A and B are shown apart, each in its own frame.
Chain A
C-alpha cells in the first residue's frame, strides 16, 4: 500500500518498545504489529488519537505516502547485490 506507518522510526526515537506502547494505549501487541509492519488496511481515529497522545506527535509524523513506483525502486539495487 502507498500509505506507510512510520511507527518503527518513532518508537526508536522515543526508545519505546511495542509492548510498552501497547500497554499504554490499550491495544493488543498483535494489532500494533499489524500497524508497524504496514499490513493494516485502515486505522481508526481513536487508535490514531491514542498513538498521537502517547507518542506526543502529529498524525502526519506517523503516516507517510509513497508512490507505488518509489516503493519498488529502492529494492532493485539491493536485489542485485
Chain B
C-alpha cells in the first residue's frame, strides 16, 4: 500500500484526522455555548483523564476516582481453585448530579482548555498529513509541527496526570462510602512521555531532511 501521495495511507489519515478535528471543534463549540447558557451540561472526565461533555436533562458529572476496598471483602475464583484474592488500587469513574460551584467551574475551564489543546494538536497533525498526501514530506514547517505535537504529548501527559490526581483528591476529601476508601494516586503514563520523546527525535529527522531537500533543490 502506498504511504505517500494521492489515494494513499496518508490521504486516508487526512480524512480521519479531518473528521476528528471537526468533532472536537463541534464539542468545543457546544461546551462553550452550553456553559455560557448555564444549563444542562455535564462535564465528564473519565478514569484515564480523557475529557468529554454531555448535554441534556438530568446529565451527570463524572470524575476519575481511585479507591481500595475493605480487606474483609471476600474475592475468590472457585473454578480456578483460588479461595482468596484481593482487590487493590482500583480506578473508576464517579458520577453525580452536577452542582454549580468552584469545582464545577474548574472542571468546565479544564474541559474547554483540554478540548482546545486537542484541537490545536489535531490542526498540527492535519498540516503534517496534508504535506504527506501531497508527496512533500520534507517541508520545513513539518519539523516545527512535529516538535509542537511532541511537546504537547509530553506536557499533556503531565497535565492529564495532575488532573486525575486533583480529581482523585477531591473525591477522597468529599465522598464517603461504606467498604470503599477513596484515595489519590499519581497515574503518569510513562509510555505517553516516551512517545513524545520519540516524536521529538522524528521532528529533528524531518528538520535535517528539509535542509537536505532544500540543498538538493538548489544544486545545479
B215 at the interface (CB under 8 A from A): yes
A72 at the interface (CB under 8 A from B): no
CB neighbors of A among B197-220 (8 A): 214-215, 218-220
B interface footprint on A18-35 (CB within 8 Å = 1, 0 otherwise): 000000000100011011
Q: How many inter-chain residue pairs (CB < 8 Å) link A and B? A: 23
B218, A44: Cβ atoms under 8 Å?
no
Instruction: List the B side residues contacting A43 at CB < 8 Å.
Output: 219-220
CA distance A47 to B215 in the complex (A): 16
Interface size class of A (residues with CB under 8 A): 10 to 19
Interface size class of B (residues with CB under 8 A): under 10
B interface footprint on A32-66 (CB within 8 Å = 1, 0 otherwise): 10110001111110010000000000000000000
Instruction: List the B side residues contacting A32 at CB < 8 Å.
Output: 220
Instruction: List the B side residues contacting A34 at CB < 8 Å.
Output: 218, 220
CA distance A47 to B214 in the complex (A): 19
CA distance A47 to B218 in the complex (A): 13
CA distance A12 to B134 in the complex (A): 41
Contact residue among B214, B215, B218, B220 (Cβ-Cβ distance under 8 Å from A27): B220
CA distance A32 to B220 in the complex (A): 7
CA distance A27 to B219 in the complex (A): 12
Give, as a whole number of angstroms, the nearest-CB distance from A27 to chain B. 7
Give, as a whole number of angstroms, the nearest-CB distance from B149 to chain A. 29
CA distance A51 to B5 in the complex (A): 36
Contact residue among A35, A39, A41, A44 (Cβ-Cβ distance under 8 Å from B215): A41
Instruction: List the A side residues contacting B220 at CB < 8 Å.
Output: 27, 31-32, 34-35, 40, 42-44, 47
Give, as a whole number of angstroms, the nearest-CB distance from B25 to chain A. 41
Interface centre among A27, A31, A35, A41 (most CB of B within 10 A): A41
CA distance A35 to B218 in the complex (A): 9
Instruction: List the A side residues contacting B218 at CB < 8 Å.
Output: 34, 39-42
Give, as a whole number of angstroms, the nearest-CB distance from A81 to chain B. 32
Instruction: List the B side residues contacting A41 at CB < 8 Å.
Output: 214-215, 218-219
Q: Which residues of A contact B (CB under 8 A)?
A: 27, 31-32, 34-35, 39-44, 47
Q: Which residues of B contact A (CB under 8 A)?
A: 214-215, 218-220
* CB pairs A–B below 8 angstroms (17 shown): A31-B220, A34-B218, A34-B220, A35-B220, A39-B218, A40-B218, A40-B219, A40-B220, A41-B214, A41-B215, A41-B218, A41-B219, A42-B218, A42-B220, A43-B219, A44-B219, A47-B220
Given A31-B220, A42-B218, 12 more pairs with CB closer than 8 A: A27-B220, A35-B220, A39-B218, A40-B218, A40-B219, A41-B215, A41-B218, A41-B219, A42-B215, A43-B220, A44-B220, A47-B220
